[in-house]
Amino acid sequence: MTIDLVIFDCDGVLVDSERLAVRIEGAALAELGLAFSEDELVERFVGVTDAYFRKEVEAHLGRPLPEDWDELMAARYQDAYRNELTPVDGVLEALDAIAYPNCVASNGSHRKMAFTLGITGLHARFAGRIFSAYDVTRGKPAPDLFLHAAEHLGVDPSGCVVVEDSPNGVAAARAAGMHVFAYAGGLTPAARLEGPATTVFEDMRVLPSLLEVHRSRSH
């Protein structure tokens, strides 16, 4: 077996946005009278689409959110990202050392990824190979997005590996029949990422060597 494509999630894998998002979401929900701990926010909302987040919040509120909610939240995210967002620790070194073809596949929108990857200097590394859950019918944890990325790039799913940091993303990779490298150096504990066809790791700098070990063991 060769590794024909490495598929990277964006938030929490390439850009260190999850901590900022949890802080922003916690404050916004508190303003609505909804109190969630950080652990609850991570478990419920890390790795989900904006539409899912809105649907869940409305279910807890028992009423629709204001029509301009998405725009207001987007402005809060952009302000925090513009001032505080950085690449995930070690990911630049990892990307420099990985020679395999790669792409990005995220539950986030193309607009969001253009912004976050742009301000962290990562966009040029993936230009033309960036895929969003908005491109497919179902986002993660369904396998559609990863299968779409593989098909678009002409790669068989069996030759793909995925780098993820959320249970939804890990589940999507497994459902697509792809081995997943689950990064536990962010907000999601390793225990929530472990399972079949999964290599859990905590330092992005070791990812290149983990890929080589996987490739050699698969022969």
Question: What angle, rounded to 10 degrees, do the helices at 69-84 and 110-119 form?
Answer: 20
Model pLDDT, residue 160: 98
pLDDT class of 46 with cuts at 50, 70, 90: confident
To the nearest whole percent, how much of the chain has pLDDT over 70? 99
To the nearest whole percent, how much of the chain has pLDDT over 90? 77
Q: What is the pLDDT of residues 118-167, one digit of tens each?
A: 999 999 999 999 999 999 999 999 999 999 999 999 999 999 999 999 99
User: Average pLDDT, stretch 171-197?
Assistant: 96
Model pLDDT, residue 15: 98
Residue of higher predicted confidence among 50 and 67 = 67
Domains of the chain (ranges; CATH) run 5-16+86-217 (3.40.50.1000), 18-84 (1.10.150)
Alpha-carbon 114 to chain mean position: 14
Assess whether pLDDT exceeds 90 at residue 48: no
Model pLDDT, residue 105: 98
Distances in Å between the alpha carbon of 20 and those of 81, 186, 195? 8, 12, 28
Assess whether pLDDT exceeds 80 at residue 13: yes
- Identify the helix (H) or strand (E) that includes residue 76: helix 69-84
User: Average pLDDT, stretch 50-68?
Assistant: 89
When the pLDDT of each residue in the chain is averaged and rounded to a whole number, the result is 93
* Residue appearing with tokens 């792409």: 103
Model pLDDT, residue 218: 66
d(CA 108, CA 41): 17
Question: pTM (2 decimals)?
Answer: 0.91
pLDDT class of 66 with cuts at 50, 70, 90: confident
Query: How many other C-beta atoms lie within 10 A of the C-beta of residue 95?
Result: 19
* Residue appearing with tokens 């620790």: 89
CB-based contact 26:80 (threshold 8 Å): no
Nearest-CA neighbor of 183 among 215, 216, 153, 161?
161
d(CA 130, CA 149): 8
The question of whether 4 is a catalytic residue gets the answer: no
d(CA 8, CA 102): 7
Residue 76: partners with Cβ closer than 8 Å, 6 or more residues away: 24, 28
Structure tokens given for 161: 């590996």
DSSP secondary structure, 23-40, as one string: HHHHHHHHHTT----HHH
Model pLDDT, residue 35: 86
Q: Any idea which of 55-69, 99-113, 120-134, 170-184 has the lowest mean pLDDT? A: 55-69
- Which of 4, 11, 96, 144 is catalytic? The answer is 11
pLDDT class of 184 with cuts at 50, 70, 90: very high
CB-based contact 16:89 (threshold 8 Å): yes
